[in-house]
Amino acid sequence: MTEQQQDDRDGDVADRGPALHERGSEAAPRGAMRITVSRSGGVAGLAPRWSVTVTEEKDVDSWLSLVESCPWDAPDPAGEAEPDRFVYTIRVLQPDHERDARVPERALDGPWAELVDRVKHASR
């Protein structure tokens, strides 16, 4: 089983402790990044999770550009969640920085949608 599959099986990174640089055996090289997206809600109540760990410098730069284009400082739209609609939880862990956001499905557009789609595609 790969580290990626184990992460998906074990649950949300948020439930497992501190940022990447503090995790001992999971320590990432300087500049590495882990992005996790989980989706909750919907009629069936399923909660799929996708995760990608990026270590190559050129890849980190590309992902970082997308991550930084997301409106992390915008008001939290999670309070706008609607019954039977999805809410996405997005977490980015870097060696010296951590970001979290909850984005309801109807607010998932622009860079948020691009980030979620890219993480889903990369984790296949």
In sequence order, what DSSP letters do the residues of 40-51 get, joined into one string?
EESSS----EEE
**Is the dihedral angle over the CA atoms 49, 36, 112, 55 positive or is it negative?**
negative
Q: Number of structural domains, the chain?
A: 1
The DSSP bridge partners found for residue 20 are none
Boundaries of domain holding 45: 3-122
The H-assigned helical ranges of 2-56 are: 3-10
Confidence at residue 42, expressed as pLDDT on a 0 to 100 scale: 67
Does 1 have pLDDT greater than 50? no
Quote the pTM value: 0.71
Confidence at residue 3, expressed as pLDDT on a 0 to 100 scale: 43
Confidence at residue 39, expressed as pLDDT on a 0 to 100 scale: 93
8-state DSSP, 78: G
